[in-house]
């Protein structure tokens, strides 16, 4: 053993943390940091509001359409029903005019949002078909028209469940919530 070994045996190494390994890392001092970043003081409020809207919408969908709410578990599926796995998209914006005009099941090309949602749910669908529900919530107007839903279902899945003409591959049905309930009924895991 050498003198260096004796010296090292009596000392303890300084701990290395992730912060000390990242050069130039610093803490922001809000509202304006020395690095030039500015804090958006409204961002936390908007985030809480959006999260509340999503949770409230999922609970309303559970009551109205029947699937069980599982959105709090953090994956792409927000609700699970007997036939479908559901993903909810809620907004306080007005619906586009073309969507607002749709009532009954209409074959439409799905927007990119619907395709992305269905692809995200595919690995965890457990044999259930993907369903995307778009909810538009307004603060004003008649109470029965403040919340409006449109439901997107792959056309082949809808035909498997309810019959009809086999549409082209990749087609989607879109319909309002009342039509979905009238044709399909509640999508409860356990029939009521």
For the chain, the structural domain boundaries read 43-184
> What integer best gives the mean pLDDT of the chain?
83
2: number of CA atoms within 13 Å, CB side?
A: 3
Residue-level pLDDT at 18 = 47
Return the minimum-mean-pLDDT range out of 10-24, 98-112, 145-159, 163-177.
10-24
Q: Average pLDDT for residues 164-169, to the nearest whole number?
A: 78
Beta carbons within 10 angstroms of residue 184's beta carbon? 22
Q: Phi first, then psi: what are they for 48, rounded to 5°?
A: -65, -40
Residue-level pLDDT at 19 = 46
Rounded CA-CA distance 99/27 in Å is: 46
Rounded CA-CA distance 175/87 in Å is: 15
Residue-level pLDDT at 30 = 56
Whether the predicted pLDDT of 93 surpasses 60? yes
Cβ 43 vs Cβ 31: under 8 Å = no
Return the H-helix or E-strand segment holding 52. helix 43-65
Q: Average pLDDT for residues 35-43, to the nearest whole number?
A: 75
Residue with the two structure tokens 């591959």: 169
Whether the predicted pLDDT of 66 surpasses 90? yes
Residue-level pLDDT at 20 = 46
Rounded CA-CA distance 42/49 in Å is: 11
Binned at pLDDT 50, 70 and 90, residue 120 comes out as very high
Express as a percent the part of the chain with pLDDT over 70. 85
Rounded CA-CA distance 172/170 in Å is: 7
């Amino acid at each position: 053993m050498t003198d260096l070994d004796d010296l090292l045996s009596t000392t303890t190494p300084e701990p290395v943390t992730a912060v000390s390994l990242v050069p130039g890392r610093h803490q922001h001092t809000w509202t304006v940091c020395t690095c030039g970043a500015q804090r958006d003081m409204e961002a936390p409020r908007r985030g809480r509001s959006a999260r509340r809207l999503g949770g409230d919408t999922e609970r309303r969908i559970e009551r109205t359409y029947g699937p069980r709410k599982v959105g709090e578990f953090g994956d792409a599926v927000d609700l699970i029903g007997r036939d479908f796995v559901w993903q909810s998209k809620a907004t306080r914006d007005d619906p586009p005019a073309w969507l607002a005009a749709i009532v009954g099941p209409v074959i439409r090309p799905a927007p990119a949002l619907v395709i992305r949602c269905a692809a995200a749910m595919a690995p965890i669908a457990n044999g259930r078909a993907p369903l995307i529900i778009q909810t538009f919530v307004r603060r004003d107007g008649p109470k029965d028209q403040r919340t409006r839903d449109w439901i997107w279902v792959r056309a082949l899945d809808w035909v498997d469940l309810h019959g009809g003409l086999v549409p082209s591959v990749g087609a989607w049905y879109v319909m309002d919530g009342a039509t979905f309930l009238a044709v399909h009924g509640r999508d409860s895991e356990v029939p009521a």
